[in-house]
Amino acid sequence: MREHRIPLIILAGLLVLPLVVREPYYQHLLILVLLWVTIGTGWNLLAGYTGQVSFGAAGFFGVGAYTAGLLSHHLGISAWWGMALGGLVAMVIAFPFGWITFPLRGAYFALGSLALGEVMRQVATSWESLTEGMVGILIMQTFISKLPYYYVALALAVGSIVLVHLVTRSKLGYYFVSIREDQDAAASIGINTTKYKMVSLAMHAFLTGMAGALYMNYMGFIDPHVVFSLHDISIMAILVAIVGGVGTLYGPAVGALIMVALQEIFRTAGFGGLKALSDAMGGGFMTVVTKYVSQAHVLAFGILVVVVIMSLPNGVVGDWARIKRVFKRG
Amino acid sequence: MAILELHEVSKNFGGLRAVDHVSLAVEAGEIFGLIGPNGSGKTTIFNLISHVYPASDGRVVFQGQDITSLKTFQICGLGVGRTFQVVKPLKRMTVLDNVIASAFLRHGTMKDARAQAEKWLDFCGLTPFASHLARGLSIASRKRLEITRAMATEPKLLLLDETAAGLNPGELDEAIALILKIRSSGVTIVIVEHIMKVIMSISDRIHCINHGQTIAQGTPQEVARDSKVIEAYLGHGGGN
């Protein structure tokens, strides 16, 4: 248990945090962080441990969200049932997808996975009789308070980390990493590479689909552009894992916190701080800065991510020893 | 009884016939040498046996079972281990973890796989490197890791692809000792090797190919005296 002492302390902190942080806005951000912990951890299992870099997370996220949404919309079944089903339906989608794309290796698999989210988005947009197309799906949220969503998101995030932890300590984890390191060598020691890549993909799909279904429950509204978004979901999943540390247990959790915080800071121009500063300084130069940062927040965010990745190629968790050294010297 | 048989096996790469109707039979318990000049098709034959790619023609039979169309991992599961000429260590794993990954084939639990892996590291003399990352190993140790990993799948037949290449004389003797030790443990060995000192001293029988075709087979002495073998390695005598 000793090696998990710090994570357990953090978990205890997270359990009481929303009771202290009562501002709904900050609770909302915390829920987003936890959602990204789950998605990033699932992506990390497939890409970080099994070596199959995927741009398809949005495909599974959206399928999970739509599963929950459509059950509620058409059949009047609580979207909470969609939580479990969302993960399972995403897994069902994962099988034909894996069957088609796993003969591809490296960049070619990544390109194939890029198509997944786009195909699903097109389906959700065009199949209006089922999905309402671009209009989207609106459901009644179960709770007004954010607390229930927070705790469900926390359970999902913790569950995904525990799952990855158990996997890496088992035969499954050894097989995943062997496949990542060298597929031919893995086959030569008797590993059915296609089967184990499929298992890894199914786990990734399940976690991402669950996160999608929770998103539906929490937000109450989805449309194809939101939940099948390439940059807001698929790329974000990759960034969360890369910034935190690919192939490390806690990397995606750290990455999720950093990425959601960064995104929000840029989106709101430092939580309005920049604007307050420019007002205080009586306009001029700071007003210009504020204007551009707020308008080009996606660009500024992108540049910052590039800098982080270049200076910490193994992510914050992967390069932790280096970060500590730098701070000791300084 | 022959443990491994190749019946008229061929492989075409586009218009190039890399292996041309090769037949051979490996007896259980022997060390079977496969020799030939560079590019003669030795590694291709290994890749056909372990189905890295499919044969264009012919059959591969292991212990009486046709394995021609089985997949690589299934062939390994039946008891055919192999090493790669261009070594393929699982680089970002420790030496021990490399071998544990192998041992999982026959031992399902972490505890058993680890115990087996430690046994094979000891057998192959890699125990001092157990906690090293595989990418940090010297070439001799990498070659040894290839053998250890193959042994941890508990093969009945082991295909060794140039495991002695790039070794210094001292390491060469250690490699020969290890190969003989593996044979004594009851494993049949097919070995591809360029270093004649190795192949001639340890092989029971040798099969020589050139341009994908069989040109000679027999005991090391017979093959060494064969005029076609000498010609394949040294070329024609000048002008006469």
Q: To 5 degrees, how large is the angle CA A191–CA A197–CA A203?
A: 130
Average pLDDT of chain A to the nearest whole number? 89
Task: Give the Cα separation of B165 and A214 in Å (integer).
Answer: 57
Q: A23-37, A103-117, B158-172 — which one is most confidently predicted on average?
A: A23-37
pLDDT band for position A264 (50/70/90)? confident
Mean pLDDT of B92-121: 96
Q: To 5 degrees, how large is the angle CA A63–CA A69–CA A75?
A: 120
State what percent of residues in chain B have pLDDT above 90.
Answer: 76
**How deeply is B6 buried, as exposed, middle or buried, from its count of CB atoms within 10 A (0-12, 13-18, 19+)?**
buried
Q: Nearest Cβ partner of A191 from B73, B97, B150?
A: B73
Report yes or no: A103 at the B interface, CB cutoff 8 Å. Answer: no
Q: Which range among A221-235, A255-269, A288-302, B103-117 shows the weakest confidence by mean pLDDT?
A: A288-302
State what percent of residues in chain B have pLDDT above 70.
Answer: 98
Task: Give the Cα separation of A119 and A125 in Å (integer).
Answer: 10
Stronger pLDDT, A287 or B6, i.e. the higher one: B6
- Determine contact, residues A249/A243, Cβ cutoff 8 Å: no
Q: Is residue B119 part of a domain?
A: no
What is the tens place of the pLDDT at every residue in A82-135?
888 999 999 999 999 999 999 888 889 999 999 999 999 999 999 988 888 888
What does the pLDDT read at residue A1? 57
Interface-testing mutation among B43, B46, B72, with chain A (most A C-beta atoms within 10 A) = B72
Residue B107 CA to its chain's centroid (Å): 24
- Which of B211, B87, B78, B3 is closest to A182 using CA atoms? B87
| Count of CB atoms situated within 10 Å of the CB of A95 | 13
Q: Is residue B225 part of a domain?
A: yes
In chain A, where does DSSP find H-type helix?
A: 5-20, 24-43, 57-75, 81-101, 107-126, 128-131, 147-168, 171-181, 183-188, 193-219, 224-227, 236-244, 251-267, 273-280, 285-295, 297-311, 315-318, 320-329
Which residue is closest to B135 within chain A, CA to CA? A181
Find where tokens 């040294």 sit: B234
- Inter-chain contact A175–B101, Cβ cutoff 8 Å? yes
Output Rg (C-alpha) for chain A, integer angstroms: 20
Strand order in the sheet with B205-210: B80-82, B157-161, B188-192, B31-35, B205-210, B213-218
Q: Tally C-beta pairs within 8 A across A and B.
A: 73
Q: Is residue B103 part of a domain?
A: no
Neighbour-count burial for A156-183, b at 16+ CB within 10 Å, e otherwise: bbbebbebbbebbebbbbbbbbbbbbbb
Which residue is closest to A174 within chain B, CA to CA? B101
- Which of B37, B145, B21 is closest to B83 using CA atoms? B145
Query: Please, what is the end-to-end C-alpha distance for chain A in angstroms?
Result: 33
- Which of A203, A167, A187 is closest to B90 using CA atoms? A187
- Inter-chain contact B88–A190, Cβ cutoff 8 Å? no
Which DSSP state fits A303?
A: H
Which residue is closest to B83 within chain A, CA to CA? A188
pLDDT band for position A214 (50/70/90)? very high
Tell me the chain B residues in contact with residue A178 when contact means C-beta distances shorter than 8 Å.
90, 93, 101
CA A190 to chain B, closest CA, distance in angstroms equals: 4
- Domain extent for B76: 2-88+142-234
- Inter-chain contact B76–A189, Cβ cutoff 8 Å? yes
Position B110 pLDDT exceeds 70:
yes
Q: Is residue B98 part of a domain?
A: no
pLDDT band for position A268 (50/70/90)? confident
What does the pLDDT read at residue B237? 57
Task: Give the Cα separation of A253 and A233 in Å (integer).
Answer: 16
The CATH number for B40's domain is 3.40.50.300
The number of folded domains in chain B is: 1
For strand B157-161 and strand B16-27, is the pairing parallel, antiparallel, or unpaired?
A: unpaired
Stated as kind and residue range, the H or E segment containing A137 is strand A137-138
Position A283 pLDDT exceeds 70:
no
Task: Give the Cα separation of A207 and A87 in Å (integer).
Answer: 6
Q: To 5 degrees, how large is the angle CA A158–CA A159–CA A160?
A: 90
Q: Is residue B123 part of a domain?
A: no
What is the tens place of the pLDDT at every residue in B13-32?
988 999 999 999 999 999 99
What does the pLDDT read at residue A262? 86
Mean pLDDT of B129-143: 92
Stronger pLDDT, B95 or A307, i.e. the higher one: B95
- Determine contact, residues A314/A254, Cβ cutoff 8 Å: no
Q: What is the DSSP string of chain B?
A: -EEEEEEEEEEEETTEEEEEEEEEEEETT-EEEEE-STTSSHHHHHHHHTTSS--SEEEEEETTEE-TTS-HHHHHHHTEEE--SS----TTSBHHHHHHHHHTTT--SHHHHHHHHHHHHHHHT-GGGTTSBGGGS-HHHHHHHHHHHHHTT--SEEEEESTTTT--HHHHHHHHHHHHHHHHTT-EEEEE-S-HHHHHHH-SEEEEEETTEEEEEESHHHHHH-HHHHHHHH---S--
Q: B122 CB contacts (<8 Å, ≥6 apart)?
A: none
- Which of B81, B58, B83 is closest to B185 using CA atoms? B81
What is the tens place of the pLDDT at every residue in B203-228?
999 999 999 999 999 999 999 888 88
Domain ranges of chain A: 23-247, 268-330
Q: Which range among A15-29, A234-248, A257-271, B176-190 shows the weakest confidence by mean pLDDT?
A: A257-271
Q: Is residue B136 part of a domain?
A: no
Q: Is residue B23 part of a domain?
A: yes
Average pLDDT of chain B to the nearest whole number? 92
- Inter-chain contact A185–B97, Cβ cutoff 8 Å? no
Residues forming a β-bridge with B60: B6
Task: Give the Cα separation of A61 and A64 in Å (integer).
Answer: 5
Mean pLDDT of A250-255: 94
Tell me the chain A residues in contact with residue B153 when contact means C-beta distances shorter than 8 Å.
189-190
pLDDT band for position B239 (50/70/90)? very low
Task: Give the Cα separation of A133 and A125 in Å (integer).
Answer: 4
- Determine contact, residues A116/A97, Cβ cutoff 8 Å: yes
- Which of A276, A309, A274 is closest to A294 using CA atoms? A274
Q: To 5 degrees, how large is the angle CA B151–CA B152–CA B157?
A: 35
As for the ipTM of the complex, it is: 0.91
Task: Give the Cα separation of B69 and A113 in Å (integer).
Answer: 29
- Inter-chain contact B90–A181, Cβ cutoff 8 Å? yes
Token representation of residue A225: 């552009």
Position A3 pLDDT exceeds 80:
no
Report yes or no: A192 at the B interface, CB cutoff 8 Å. Answer: yes
- Inter-chain contact B72–A175, Cβ cutoff 8 Å? no
Q: Nearest Cβ partner of A188 from B76, B93, B104?
A: B76
Q: What is the DSSP string of B33-86?
A: EEE-STTSSHHHHHHHHTTSS--SEEEEEETTEE-TTS-HHHHHHHTEEE--SS
Mean pLDDT of B28-52: 93
**Region class of A205: left (phi > 0), else alpha (psi between -120 and 50), else beta:** alpha
Task: Give the Cα separation of A46 and A60 in Å (integer).
Answer: 13
Find where tokens 């807001």 sit: A232
Residue B118 CA to its chain's centroid (Å): 23
